[in-house]
Amino acid sequence: MAEKIKILYIDDEMDNLVGFKATLRLDYQIFTAVNIPGAMEHLEKHPDIRVIFCDQRMPLKTGVEFLKIYAVPTHCRCAFC
């Protein structure tokens, strides 16, 4: 069996994270974070994450700010905000 593509979803609303993971968990390896520090932990532990979905309106940084700083320089293939 092929290794599942790893996806990170960042959103400060827990209901969104739960629904996202429940919907895609069978086909993808899903990581979720409620904030930027949590997302950074996942990216440090799993540098092979290939897709990042990020809420635009979050505390500390907007989704676009986060993706510019952390997703663009990595090997992430797709980033959505």
pLDDT tens profile 51-68: 888 888 877 778 788 887
- Which residues, at least 6 apart from 11, have a Cβ–Cβ distance to it below 8 Å? 17, 20, 32, 34, 53, 54, 55, 58
> Taking the CB of residue 1, how many other CB atoms lie within 10 A of it?
3
pLDDT tens profile 28-59: 999 999 998 999 999 999 988 888 888 888 77
* 80: pLDDT strictly greater than 60: no
In whole angstroms, what is the distance from residue 79 CA to residue 81 CA?
7
